[in-house]
Amino acid sequence: QVQLVESGGGLVQAGGSLRLSCAASGRTFSNYAMGWFRQAPGKEREFVAGISWSGGSTDYADSVKGRFTISRDFAKNTVYLQMTSLNPEDTAVYYCAARLWTANRAPNQYNYWGQGTRVTVSS
């Protein structure tokens, strides 16, 4: 089992920044790829960013490329999502998820999920 706890969400004005954190516990963190997903009201959960088990490979949705950065700290068993130049379309509940080895854009490929943290971007 892997337990994931997100934090760092909140209310921010358009153009602002936030950093989300996802703290992992349980099985060997370094074996797991991590993904960030988001779900806006009335919409399906969508891929935002992913990072491989080693941290050597990252992937981003086109909508956030150049604005968001995913990273991981093995000493802290934590994955981060640095979000900049936020706009109201980024408003959603953000979830982190874990799966073995390589990241994937499909939510159903992930075995473990956090409870989510809400991000609201005001215009």
Residue 21 pLDDT class (50, 70, 90 cuts): very high
Q: Coil, strand, or helix at residue 21?
A: strand
Q: What is the pLDDT of residues 37-56, one digit of tens each?
A: 999 999 999 999 999 999 99
Distance CA 94, CA 54 (A): 22
Residue 1: predicted pLDDT: 85
What size, in residues, is the chain? 123
- Look at residues 14, 46, 48, 13 and name the one whose alpha carbon lies nearest to residue 34: 48
How far from each other are the two terminal CA atoms of the chain, in whole angstroms? 40
34 has a pLDDT exceeding 80: yes
What is the DSSP secondary-structure string of 82-119? EE-S--GGG-EEEEEEEEESS--S-GGG-SEE---EEE
Query: Two tokens at 5?
Result: 């706890």
